[in-house]
């Protein structure tokens, strides 16, 4: 185990975790809501430090990052635990305590991870993903610092539920985020994720203000967060607060964990993408058949298709080495 950052000691060996907005007050030998930060004798420890899963190279588009080093590979690494409690969790086998004993984790040092990044072919860097990276903050931070020193990129796939102080520290070494904006109402967050919306919005605004590459994923669940007016409010907010060039992934839901609602109709995904394109320049559909995904990148400057995607293949013939459109010089992606 590794001592955690961002906690305050209280009387009777009680600690208060300050990593995320839950602010868990944790008694001795108990854990916070994430189930991976434990209080032992008044010291808060991270139980998942150095415990990795994944560690394989895959297209950066799978994360999904569509406007970040398009066409490159990226090393993916995860661990276990999560600070939300989503009824529809897609990775519940890594996030829920009842499944922890079955996870095939490997003790992996920071230096081992960094060597893996360097040795990966056509790799832009590393993605912290699979489960919620913020709950293995210390391990991620130690890796990210060394990866950055070697000239590679750090990308985080997260729910965005983190306090401002640890986020600001992390922003010094992270190059890109894909934040899962689960819905645009506090009611949804409280009822289906055990959290609140406002801290996620604050995280998004902080990342955008620092001019760090940001993409957003929105999983559309029928009857719960597919209302067109609320969705329109969300994309308007993204456009006005984060910028029109913020990529949005409108993703199709399939039943998972505790939720058995039928999969999202393709027509719903298509309609919502059309609405989003009224406000945003880059809108993609996820978890849909390739021919219906709207996965190509269209240049906002001249209307040319500059990045083509089909399955695992990405063609970038129409952007230069700086990720600018070869026709009009509009910067369509981040390439370092």
Q: What is the pLDDT of residue 312?
A: 82
Q: What is the pLDDT of residue 33?
A: 97
Q: Is 286 domain-assigned?
A: yes
> Are residues 301 and 222 part of one domain?
no
Q: What is the pLDDT of residue 290?
A: 76
What's the whole-model pTM score? 0.97
Quickly count: other Cβ atoms within 10 Å of residue 109's Cβ.
12
The Cα–Cα gap between 269 and 176 comes to 25
Question: Crossing angle, helix 266-276 and helix 228-237, to 10 degrees?
Answer: 40
> Are residues 199 and 95 part of one domain?
yes
DSSP category for residue 78: E
Domain that holds residue 21: 2-46
Q: For the chain, how many structural domains are there in total?
A: 3
Q: What SS3 class is residue 180?
A: strand
> Are residues 160 and 33 part of one domain?
no
Q: What is the pLDDT of residue 103?
A: 92
Q: What SS3 class is residue 266?
A: helix
> Are residues 171 and 84 part of one domain?
yes
Q: Is 335 domain-assigned?
A: no
> Are residues 154 and 13 part of one domain?
no
Q: What is the pLDDT of residue 311?
A: 82
CB of 131 closer than 8 Å to CB of 158 = no
Mean pLDDT by 10 residues, the chain (336 residues): 96 97 98 98 98 96 97 97 97 94 94 97 97 98 98 98 98 98 98 98 98 98 98 98 98 97 97 98 93 87 96 93 97 94
> Are residues 301 and 209 part of one domain?
no
């Amino acid at each position: 185990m590794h001592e955690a950052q961002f906690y305050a000691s209280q009387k009777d060996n009680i600690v208060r975790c300050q990593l995320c907005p839950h602010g868990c007050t944790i008694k001795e030998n108990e854990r916070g809501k994430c189930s991976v930060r434990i209080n032992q004798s008044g010291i808060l420890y991270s139980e998942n430090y150095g415990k990795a899963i994944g560690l394989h190279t895959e297209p950066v588009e799978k994360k999904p990052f569509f406007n970040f080093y398009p066409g490159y590979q990226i090393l993916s690494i995860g661990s276990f635990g999560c600070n939300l409690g989503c009824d529809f969790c897609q990775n519940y086998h890594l996030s829920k305590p009842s499944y922890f004993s079955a996870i095939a984790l490997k003790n992996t040092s920071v230096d081992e991870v960094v060597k893996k990044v360097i040795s990966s072919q056509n790799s832009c860097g590393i993605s912290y993903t699979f489960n919620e990276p913020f709950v293995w903050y210390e391990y991620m931070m130690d890796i990210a610092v060394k990866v950055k020193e070697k000239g590679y990129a750090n990308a985080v796939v997260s729910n965005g539920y983190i306090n401002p102080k640890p986020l600001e520290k992390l922003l010094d070494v992270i190059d890109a985020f894909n934040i899962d904006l689960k819905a645009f109402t506090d009611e949804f967050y409280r009822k289906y994720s055990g959290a609140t919306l406002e801290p996620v919005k604050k995280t998004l605004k902080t990342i955008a203000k620092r001019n760090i590459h940001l993409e957003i994923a929105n999983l559309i669940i029928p009857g719960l967060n597919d209302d067109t007016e609320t969705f329109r409010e969300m994309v308007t907010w993204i456009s006005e607060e984060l910028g029109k060039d913020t990529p949005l992934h409108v993703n199709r839901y399939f039943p998972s964990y505790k939720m058995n609602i039928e999969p999202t109709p393709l027509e719903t995904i298509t309609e919502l993408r059309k609405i989003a394109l009224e406000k945003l320049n880059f809108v993609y559909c996820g978890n849909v058949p390739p021919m219906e995904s709207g996965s190509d990148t269209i240049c906002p400057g001249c209307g040319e298709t500059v990045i083509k995607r089909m399955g695992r293949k990405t063609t970038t013939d129409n952007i230069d080495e700086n990720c600018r459109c070869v026709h009009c010089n509009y910067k369509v992606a981040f390439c370092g």
